[in-house]
Structures are given as structure tokens and as C-alpha cells.
């Protein structure tokens, strides 16, 4: 497999608080990588460093390199907006734009990029909703508000919105934590499907979910990467005592 991200000596701060400490890891293309660890271990910050969203927070800063397709996204001259277009993000709580229709929720990124041709927009909306396993449920109601959907449908709508601008990577921060088990199972199935064509990085507190959906798992603790490898190995034969204790539920 090709390497999508090569992360080298990544450090991140909020003001004087050092939240990520010297992270080194490679993330494979067209695979699902799960980031696990207790609250406060830097998982979400790590995710936000992969598409330059961390720096949006006042007082936040980063050092080190994040090579994406071989290019350091933190180099001078790299456009963060372009990076965020190629590296989409889906948040913990579904956040469709409530004043917009289902159609416009999906098309908004394309319109912001200057696309006005209705045929192109129609095709992109349908393709993205199909990819998100939502088209059959909403095709007769595209003019209804995105907020009218159930929680699970809203999360899939947010995934469709991220896919519409044709990213290469999807970052997902606890994408099922606000959902019931049936809706969560649909998102998990979708994650596996999307990995055929996209690189997916998911933060999850749910050990079973990480074991089910991911190809690789990284265990973070207090801002450090403790262990990283194939999911099967991490869960069945962890090398680090701390990983073993976390996975078996001794703390977390």
C-alpha cells in the first residue's frame, strides 16, 4: 500500500499546553486507521492537525511535518483551504446547515468553488448521496431541510457533503457517538465501503468499533503515540503494557 500521510516529529500546543508530543507515524492510503485512547490524550487535536484545522483555534500552534502525498502541508505557500478540500472532516455531532435543503447541504462546497452548472451539481449531489448510502432515503425530498432528517441520516448527509468536493481523505471525529446502535452500524458499514476509494482516519472511544472497522490502530496516551500497527495485532497481541491495559478496560 502507498503512504498517504507521513507524520514526522509532530508537536501541537494550545497556548503553553503541549497536547501532542513528537508524533511519528505513516498512514496508509485506502485504509481505515483508528485513533484510540482515553479522553485528553490528543486524538482530536491530532486529527485536526492533519488538515490544518488546529491552527484555527486562537493560540494554537504546530511544529514538525505532515507530509500528504509527499508534500508538507505546513510549508510556506501551501494553501490551507486547498488542504481542507482534499482532506475532508466529519464531526462528532451531525451538523447539517439547518436553513439549507438536503440538496444545498451537499452542493454547498461545489457552489463555494464557483460551480453553477445545474447538471454538474445534480450529478454531484446524487453521486455523493449514493456514496453515503442516503440517496434512496431522500431522493424524493431533496428540497426538505437537512435538519428534518434523523440523527443517523444527518451524519450521512454530512459525509455526503464532505464527499461532494471529491476529497482524497475523510477524517471522522467520533462519528457515531451521538447515534443509536442501528444508525451507528450503518455508518460503520459506510466507513468500510468508503475505504475502497478513500483514506479514512477515525477517532473513536469505542474499542469494538475500532476492531470492527479499522485496518490499523494507533493508541494515544497523554499526547504521545504509545503503539501503532495492524488492528488485529494491536487488539490481540499488543506490544506495550499500557496498550494492553487500555484495551482490556483497566483504565480509560
- pLDDT exceeds cutoff 90 at 228: yes
- If you average pLDDT over residues 210-216, what whole number do you get? 97
The DSSP element (H or E) to which 52 belongs, if any, is none
For the domain spanning 3-247, the CATH number is 3.40.50.300
The DSSP element (H or E) to which 245 belongs, if any, is helix 241-247
Q: Is there a contact between 11 and 63 (Cβ–Cβ < 8 Å)?
A: yes
Q: What is the pLDDT of residue 226?
A: 98
Q: Which residues sit opposite 145 in a β-bridge? A: 101
Determine the Cα–Cα distance for residues 178 and 155; give it in Å rounded to an integer: 9
- pLDDT exceeds cutoff 90 at 113: no
Strand-strand pairing, 60-68 and 3-14: antiparallel
The x, y and z cell numbers of residue 40, run together, are 485528553
pLDDT band for position 181 (cuts 50, 70, 90): very high
Residue ranges per domain, the chain? 3-247
Q: What are 40-69's pLDDT values in tens digits? A: 999 999 999 999 999 999 999 999 999 999
- What is the pTM assigned to this prediction? 0.95
Q: What are 89-98's pLDDT values in tens digits? A: 999 999 999 8
The DSSP element (H or E) to which 104 belongs, if any, is helix 102-112
Amino acid at each position: 500500500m502507498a503512504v498517504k500521510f507521513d507524520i514526522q516529529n509532530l508537536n501541537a500546543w494550545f497556548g503553553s499546553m503541549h497536547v501532542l508530543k513528537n508524533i511519528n507515524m505513516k498512514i496508509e492510503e485506502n485504509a481505515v486507521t483508528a485513533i484510540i485512547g482515553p479522553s485528553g490524550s490528543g486524538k482530536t487535536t491530532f486529527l485536526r492537525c492533519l488538515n490544518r484545522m488546529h491552527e484555527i483555534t486562537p493560540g494554537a500552534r504546530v511544529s514538525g511535518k505532515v507530509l500528504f502525498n509527499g508534500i508538507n502541508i505546513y510549508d510556506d505557500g501551501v494553501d490551507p483551504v486547498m488542504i481542507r478540500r482534499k482532506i475532508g472532516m466529519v464531526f462528532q455531532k451531525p451538523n447539517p446547515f439547518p436553513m439549507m435543503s438536503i440538496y444545498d447541504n451537499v452542493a454547498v462546497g461545489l457552489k463555494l468553488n464557483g460551480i453553477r452548472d445545474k447538471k454538474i451539481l445534480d450529478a454531484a449531489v446524487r453521486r455523493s448521496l449514493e456514496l453515503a448510502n442516503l440517496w434512496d432515503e431522500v431522493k424524493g425530498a431533496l428540497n426538505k431541510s437537512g435538519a428534518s432528517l434523523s440523527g443517523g441520516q444527518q451524519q450521512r448527509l454530512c459525509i455526503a457533503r464532505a464527499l461532494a468536493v471529491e476529497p482524497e481523505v475523510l477524517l471522522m471525529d467520533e462519528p457515531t457517538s451521538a447515534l443509536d446502535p442501528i444508525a451507528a452500524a450503518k455508518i460503520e458499514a459506510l466507513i468500510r465501503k468508503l475505504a475502497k476509494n478513500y483514506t479514512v482516519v477515525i477517532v473513536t472511544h469505542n474499542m469494538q468499533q475500532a476492531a470492527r472497522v479499522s485496518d490499523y490502530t494507533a493508541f494515544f496516551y497523554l499526547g504521545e503515540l504509545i503503539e501503532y500497527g495492524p488492528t488485529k495485532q494491536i487488539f490481540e497481541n499488543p506490544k506495550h503494557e499500557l496498550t494492553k491495559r487500555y484495551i482490556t478496560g483497566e483504565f480509560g
